[in-house]
């Protein structure tokens, strides 16, 4: 099961990123836990200076911008194909 975190303090772009991530996970049928992290200290622990950010299995994949749904799907598909 994938662990996905959306890092952001609750701004519109952060909420949009969370919605895109949830949509991509649903469309792919990936088993994943999605967590929205809004605590600034937790966000800083990932060395993120600008939000939103997407963390998949504790690895920062996207930071400082809203990703496209296709980009999230691509990242999740790549992750599934690695043994």
State residue 79's pLDDT score. Answer: 58
Residues 6+ apart with CB under 8 A from 53: 6, 7, 8, 43, 46, 60, 62, 63, 64
**Where along the chain do its domains lie?**
2-81
Q: What is the pTM of this model?
A: 0.90
CATH superfamily entry for domain 2-81: Glutaredoxin (3.40.30.10)
- Active-site positions? 11, 14
Residue whose tokens read 């194909």: 81
Q: For residue range 22-69, list pLDDT tens digits in order.
A: 999 999 999 999 999 999 999 999 999 899 999 999 999 999 999 999
Neighbours of 13 (CB within 10 A): 14
Coil, strand or helix: which one is 59? strand
Coil, strand or helix: which one is 25? helix
């Amino acid at each position: 099961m994938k662990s996905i975190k959306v890092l952001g303090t609750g701004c519109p772009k952060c909420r949009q990123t969370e919605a895109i991530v949830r949509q991509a996970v649903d469309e792919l049928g990936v088993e994943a836990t999605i967590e929205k992290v809004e605590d600034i200290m937790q966000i800083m622990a990932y060395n993120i200076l600008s939000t939103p950010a997407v963390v998949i299995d504790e690895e920062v994949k996207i930071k400082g911008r809203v990703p496209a749904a296709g980009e999230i799907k691509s990242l999740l598909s790549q992750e599934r194909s690695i043994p």
